[in-house]
Amino acid sequence: MNKSGLVIRLAIVIIFTAVIVGLITTQIFYRFTFLNEQVLGQQSIHQLSNTVSKTASIASYLGDEELAREVVNGLISNDVITSAAIKTDTLVVKSDNFPDADASIDTLEFALYSPFQKDRRVGLLIVEANDDYLRVKANNISATNTFFVGIEALIITIISILVTYYVITRPILNIGKALHSISPGTSERIAKPLSHQKSEIGQLADDVNELLAKAEQQLLKEKSLRSEVEVLESRFRMLFENATSAIALVEPKGDLLLYNETFETLIQKLQLPLKKNYGNYLQDLFIMKKELHEQIQIAFENNESAMAELELISPQDEKIWMQVVVTPLVTDDFQENYQITLHDISKRKYQISLLDKKANFDSLTNLFNRHAAEQHLRQLMANREPFALIMMDLNDFKPINDIFGHDAGDELLIHVSSQLLKSVRKADILARWGGDEFVLILPKASREDVINVCAKSAAKLSKPHNLSQHDKSVFVTASMGVSFYPDDQVELLELIRSADKAMYQAKKQKTINNELYLSFTSDKANLVSGKK
């Protein structure tokens, strides 16, 4: 049996309480009985004295010693009296053991009155109580009564323990045992004790059953939720592992916590070792690390997910572009991590570049086309940046194109483009305006800068070019017209018209192939001619 069990502890408490209460009760009862027996002894003495007082009064009145002796002997024959004496003015009769007058012993004295005159005192009856007898008797009676009280207390204690066990403890223990045998989440319930259908123990059983019912519902609900979570987790893992985009979960310091197979494949494609850390936000994978950090910080300051389009570091000639999405995640223990998703946008970037090239570049010469040139002109004018606009038209191109065919003409245009590219400065913009017309845009160029570029261009063009399919050398010259922004014009169309007019003016003035045909809008004569 468990020493700390409810039955043992309850029995100990009852026994301890019964012992304490029994000791106190028996002591009080013993004392009360002892005193009560002494009082009863004194009362017995008084009753005996009252009984013999009439006879003693007659003996004292008559002075009859023999009668007085009979009274004294009758008194001492009782156990409660040790000695007795009758004293009158003429007579003293006492028992043999009556103490001397010098002895200090407590005695009881009763006055004796004349049988004929009630107020006349004729003698004195002296009685010595048998204190030892009274004390022993009181002790015996008290001890006996105390013993029976103790027995009664013991019986009451045993009965109390049994009643408590069968009425309270055992039903509670049975409820506890039944509760231990019940599996949580099942329909099993505790049986209510028959003798406690409406008592507190019955209510306890009902409350426990209600808790079991709620626990069953909660466990069933949790089981259902757990199944749903497992299904969702399985689906999420399937999506995560089979995602076409690389996904990684990283710590703020850059340590990888989790990544999918696509991320691992990407690392292999970049010919990098798979390691634990690629820097903050995987920055070591990107060419433009600074731009990555700037865009992430701006997005996080606005409580948004960061998104950027950046190029990866690739050992191959192929460019790999990624749309980077960085989402901050906070765990239950308030640890911040980052989910980084990399969407491959290389094909889209390539398609955009093709569209951009088609929209802004000439397909034959790979120079900027007219649309792109106009865009550059508008941008320079929006920035109020001065520049020189040179309109260039090839001289004698049409006869070559007619004689040798369009393929030869295309070859010559490609040759002209390459020579012009060798003539312009690094900041200059060269574009094919259309047909055999070209445009040069020279930012922050002076008149002297323009003349130098045009002279260099004319020198490059004047060198013969051998047509590959015809084994024939040809060369061309170019007429050039120049307008300055904002000195000549401030409107784009007017600026183009002015340069175009100057170019046609130079074309009218051409004489021989080795001359520089150049005309400035600001020139009154509209012609400047010089040797190479």
* DSSP notation for 493-526: HHHHHHHHHHHHHHHHT--STTSEEEEETT-SS-
Q: Can you list the alpha helix ranges (DSSP code H) found in 243-287?
A: 261-269
Per CATH, the number for 361-524 is: 3.30.70.270
Phi-psi category of 471—alpha, beta or left, where left has phi over 0 and alpha has psi -120 to 50? left
pLDDT of residue 2: 56
Strand 516-520 with 477-485, pairing: parallel
Task: Give tens-digit pLDDT for 451-469.
Answer: 999 999 998 988 888 888 8
Confidence bin at 528 (pLDDT 50/70/90): very low
Q: Which residues contact 185 (CB under 8 A, 6 or more apart)?
A: 215, 216, 219, 220, 223
What pLDDT is recorded for position 224? 86
Q: How far apart are CA 82 and CA 76, in angstroms?
A: 6
Handedness of CA 225, 226, 229, 235 (dihedral sign): negative
* Residue whose entry in the numeric block shows the structure tokens 């079991």: 212
Average pLDDT on 163-182 reads: 80
* Sign of the alpha-carbon torsion through 443, 444, 448, 452: negative
Contacts 24+ apart (CB under 8 A), 196-200: 196/171
Tens of pLDDT, residues 473-492: 888 889 999 999 999 888 99
Return the C-alpha torsion angle 77, 80, 81, 82, nearest 10.
90
Residue 4 has pLDDT above 70, yes or no: no
How far apart are the C-alpha atoms of 433 and 427, rounded to whole Å?
19
Q: Between helices 6-62 and 170-181, what is the axis angle to 10°?
A: 180
Stronger pLDDT, 250 or 128, i.e. the higher one: 250
Q: How many helices (H) and strands (E) does the chain have?
A: 13, 17
> For position 243, what pLDDT does the model report?
80
What is the CB-side half-sphere exposure of residue 502 using CA atoms within 13 A?
A: 28
Confidence label for 513 from pLDDT (cuts 50, 70 and 90): very low
Q: Is the peptide bond before 486 cis (omega within 30 degrees of 0)?
A: yes
The model's pLDDT over 155-170, given as tens digits with 9 standing for 90+, comes to 888 888 888 877 777 7
pLDDT at 221: 87
Q: What is the DSSP letter of 527?
A: -
CATH number of 1-96+103-181: 3.30.450
Q: How far apart are CA 212 and CA 187, in angstroms?
A: 8
Most confident of 161-175, 203-217, 301-315, 420-434: 420-434
Q: For the segment 395-423, what is each residue's pLDDT rounded down to a tens digit?
A: 888 888 888 888 889 999 999 999 999 99
Query: Domain segments of the chain: what residues?
Result: 1-96+103-181, 191-239, 243-350, 361-524
Give the residue, 169 or 502, on which the prediction is more confident: 502
| pLDDT over 80 at 114, yes or no | yes
Strand residue runs (E) in 313-403: 321-330, 336-344, 387-395
Q: How many CB atoms lie within 10 A of CB 423?
A: 19
CATH number for the region 243-350 comes to 3.30.450.20
Q: With bands split at pLDDT 50, 70 and 90, how would you rate the model's confidence at 512?
A: very low
Residue 110's DSSP bridge partners are 125
Residue 528, H or E segment: strand 528-530
Beta bridge partners of 528: 518
Q: Which two tokens stand for residue 400?
A: 């070559």
| Distances from the Cα of 115 to the Cα of 67, 74, 110, 122, 153, angstroms | 15, 20, 15, 9, 55
Model pLDDT, residue 340 = 92
pLDDT at 532 (0 to 100): 31
Q: Is the pLDDT of residue 338 over 70?
A: yes
Averaged over 282-295, what is the pLDDT? 89
Mean pLDDT of 69-74: 88
Mean pLDDT of the chain: 84
User: pTM above the 0.85 mark?
Assistant: no
Query: Quick check: do 1-96+103-181 and 243-350 share a fold?
Result: yes
Residue whose C-alpha is closest to residue 467's, from 418, 524, 409, 508: 409
